[in-house]
Structure 1
Amino acid sequence: MIDWQNIDTVLLDMDGTLLDLHFDNYFWLHHLPQRYSDAHNVPLEEAQEHIHQKIAALEGTLQWYCLDHWSELMRMDIPALKHEIKHKIQIRPHAERFLQALKKQGKKLVLITNSHPAGLELKMQVTEIDRWLDIIISSHQFQSPKEDLRFWQQLQLEEPFDPKRSVFIDDSPRILKSGQSYGIKHLVCITRPDSQKPAHDSGPFIGVSDFDELLPELENESVCPTRH
């Protein structure tokens, strides 16, 4: 599937890739509508429709991922509401073993996420997956989401990498296409980002439901230094 001997850098998404997307889906589709309904004294169905319209209008923009912007829109403390259900934040199956195997191979592990810094901090506190990572980048640092080529240009300036010797793993084919447009050679789509939902299509990219599908070939590689 991937010749890991030719990989120096592994670019990893967070939500739906390293972490179970169920937390985020549950928050936006269930928890926030219920809390909005309670706080603003409106029927739950009205709250759900209001939030759905806002999500649809902002999809793919940096504001879509910005918790400060959502706090203003909802007139509620969104980070605080996320803390209320932080017990739902979970690492995806085999993710830690996958990260450990990559570290043993000497790969550079770079987390690139559209997550707002407040949400990112919460998830690092709960999961502690940052102990396996070399670099953590939020697209909010660059003022451009991963869907935007400007994100990749800024990433290259911040943390130089060779697109031909890098693999990018994400659960969104739309975002993988952005990485492909920048020239990243190896692209992998997580097809079952939410453990409570069925798998989705990977589009033109390599599709895996869990990291155990990548582990055999990675763990069978002989350990050798890679160029950073």
Structure 2
Amino acid sequence: MKNWFTVCFVLLLISCKKESENLNFISLNEIYPMAVGKTFTYRLDSTVTVNFGASLATRSYLAKDSVESTFLDAQNRKSFRIFRYLRDTLAVQPWKFTATYLTTFTENTVEFVDNNLRYIVLSNPVSENTFWKGNAYINTILPSSYYFLDNWDYQYKNLNQSFTTKKGVIQNTYTVLQQNTQIPATFNPSVYNEKSYSIEVYAKGIGLIYKEFLHYIWQPTPVPAKFQDDSYGIKLNLISYN
């Protein structure tokens, strides 16, 4: 009987500990706080193919994301409309509108729509044991141009850590590793190469502070060898926000 009470007591302690841990998970609203009027300025580096695919080059800009309005989507979910503006890195030219993005909060996720592609960028609970299919809403079946997004497992990494951006060192950040594959491990121009790398970093009380995405396929044959046309990348690095 004494052993039975001991076992019950231990199980109760474990249960209470798990419940306490669950209560300590940071909310998605804390790491992605959206409100109309917020603006975020980033250094944007765009990777593109040049010289008919012979190489990759980087084009750099300043990007400003402005939260323009809020609305309820067709499923009655709170959503935000975000306008993106670009200009040169020296800030000489005026801002030029380039794109509209949508972000939607569900009960357990945050969705982000870019170029009519819906990504599940965040998911509860915010824990390194949390995995989710972030590209589940995207058609990745060939001949889709987005075949390389198939079956990605998003995962939280480096929870509540510091992260260095162009704004400086930011505390309380949360990294979402979306994909990290490369074949072969080191680029070799004499053979077929494919790489997909994608991460996003969010900060408590701020939102997205860093994003890096790169996908390329290098085809050595037929000659001349080249990167496929759908090889591209983007990097966002936070400069300022309000």
In the superposition, the TM-score normalised over structure 2's length comes to 0.28
- Report the structure, 1 or 2, having the larger strand content: 2
Larger relative contact order (Cα-Cα within 8 Å, sequence gap ≥ 6) = 1
Select the structure of larger CA radius of gyration: 2
